[in-house]
Structure 1
């Protein structure tokens, strides 16, 4: 099973997707979800979202022969909660999906810190060469950010109409994540190990 999962970037067998294609595979299912909801309803949108998510994973696997971990976890939750939404004809389940995914990522990162493990360091150590303190701070910040996204999703889907929630899911989460990522650059620059930085 581990041979099917995404390889570390420094693995000689690791294959990178074209950045534009990778972005299309990540955003494509959201676009399908938005347009299906606008033209039809939340249940048609849920079915289309499930299919688009599985297609995106299949294309990624066909090109790299590996499954990216975070999209894989997201895809599993989409299929489970989307299936419940369609089977029970209850939109609550698909609305809870972002809560479950973000809470899972957030609790995993923060839980790792409780055991002395900065998990982001294990994933991105070949991309960023940070001090242990840098990895701990970055892991903590992302853990908290994922939990904030989970809470935001709960507040919005429980408080606002479905169309507002769909707009938040498609046009809110991605910009928030982009801005948060930019805000981490000073920490990354400040805690980058100098000899690695010079070697690059």
Structure 2
């Protein structure tokens, strides 16, 4: 897709499936294989490592399909894919699940830091990513960015605490459902803010 062009329309349920399908499949795979070990090439791997090895290509395939269908791939998707490939690869190569668990902390921490840097510069980099979806006044974007940056920071801290103190089964459930649910609720609770600072036709005419 050329710069400035709108993404091609896609069925919302298909988009939802492609975006949430990979982590759900990872969750299902881990739950089925968590008590099983596999010996490959003389090395023994537990179910978490095998589930991680399967998650990486599935995620990349889902992003590729979304790109093919919409003609667009977001910077967040690219960054997430790079992090998953890197830390997923380290997890399998070193046979150590800690790297994949750390990935979630680093992803959310990175988002919090990047948004925070933009705020210190007096800019909303969240607007740069989502401005076309949510037409808002700059003041609204600054408030929303502060809240979302705080949410990402809390998610990074929460993930770090959970993976270091809880079982792998608990972490997989928390990472698959808990963190996305928290972020979803966080966005939903910003409805009044978005409505208050929304750019209307009257604003545009002025």
TM-score by shorter chain over 0.5: yes
Alignment partner, residue 107 of structure 1: 113
Gaps of 5+ in 2: 34-46
Which of structure 1's runs of 4+ aligned residues deviate more than 4 A? 196-199
Query: Judging changes above 3 Å, is the alpha-carbon distance between structure 1 residues 126 and 65 closer, same or farther for their aligned structure 2 residues?
Result: closer
Alignment partner, residue 25 of structure 1: 18
Alignment partner, residue 186 of structure 1: 192
Q: 1:94-133 to 2 correspondence within 5 Å?
A: 94-133=100-139
Instruction: Report the number of matched residues.
Output: 192
Aligned-residue RMSD, C-alpha: 1.9
Gaps of 5+ in 1: none
1:134 aligns with 2:140: yes
- In structure 2, which of residues 156, 161, 171 is the aligned counterpart of residue 165 of structure 1? 171
Deviations 1:58-79 (A, max 9, x none): 1112212332221221111000
Q: 1:25-174 to 2 correspondence within 5 Å?
A: 25-40=18-33, 41-174=47-180
Q: Which structure has the bigger radius of gyration?
A: 2
Alignment partner, residue 7 of structure 2: 14
CA distance in structure 1 between the aligned counterparts of 2:17 and 2:23, rounded to whole angstroms:
10
Query: Judging changes above 3 Å, is the alpha-carbon distance between structure 1 residues 51 and 196 closer, same or farther for their aligned structure 2 residues?
Result: farther
